[in-house]
Chains A and B, each alone.
Chain A
Amino acid sequence: MYLITLLRHGESEGNSSGVLQGQSDYPLTATGVEQAEQLASYWKSEDTKFDLIVSSPLQRASKTAEIIANCMKVPVEYDPAWKERNFGRLQGANLRELDQQVPPVDFFHPYEPIGGNGESQLDLYTRACQALQKIIRQPAGSYLVVSHGGILNKVLYVIMGITPQGHYNSPIFHFGNTGYAQLRYNSSSRQWAVINLNRQLSHIQVEGLQSWKLD
């Protein structure tokens, strides 16, 4: 049995200033550090066990992972497969000004590189497949993944059997900062159970990436 917890990083400087981050690298804010600390001590108090933490190397994720690893005494590995979507030339754009920078299109297809030279939805989906597969090829156990809203959405697609669609025709799974999803995979029956999505503990959560407009 695999228990997989998918965690979005705490609030970053990019989140608080309303920037579309993608793979550009912003540190956690003081709030983000506090979110990670609160979650770590909650998990510790609940006697939650992780065998391994796998984190995106982007610092908003890696710092979140490090705080949890130190508190819970769990080893961490960094894997670039868990980085956020590459948003191409849109990276660093102000989310509030995006409407002006990116005129609305009649239709976009799932193979279209975002921001000119970024990852298409299908690129992101195939990366998510590979990232998940690496976890499933490890021995059964409890894994914590610390990553980002965009790619975690595609991991949920892979698990649920949803393929990327054109335009806005695919659902968005919201992850607040330090919001997490818990999933259980039974490798003998090959069944996935979604135990919860976007579980949040703290009332200091901040709305992050507004990817609903961009996906």
Chain B
Amino acid sequence: MFVRLTISLTVLGLLAACAPPAQAILVDEAWARPAEAGTNSAVYFRLHNGSRADELIGVESGVAQAMIHLTILEADGIVRMEHQMQVSLAPGEMVVFEPGGLHVMLMDLAADLQVGSTVDLLLMFRQGGAHAVEAIVRQP
């Protein structure tokens, strides 16, 4: 009995050692629209998920109140924005935050966003925890 348990634990330990570690989430091509203090802006980027399913569940910024929004274009040409409580990420999936789609909305900016400056964001993932992002301010 003891020998069988020892073998089982050894096999499990070996398997765990052979399994690749969960890959981290990568964020790239982050940029924000220039805007003046008191108005709004948007941040765009690409999310490359790692090897496990995850969810983006929140976002913070020191320069403004930040929310995840989705721009929806209706058939009649009307656009509206929908607040997203979370964004699901399948293993290995890339999700693009882009004009006219998903974006991080920055509301009531505390300072001007000048071209060439940067905006710091903190993306919160259910599994992956907090992820710091630096977005460059530029025109598209």
> Are both chains from one complex?
no
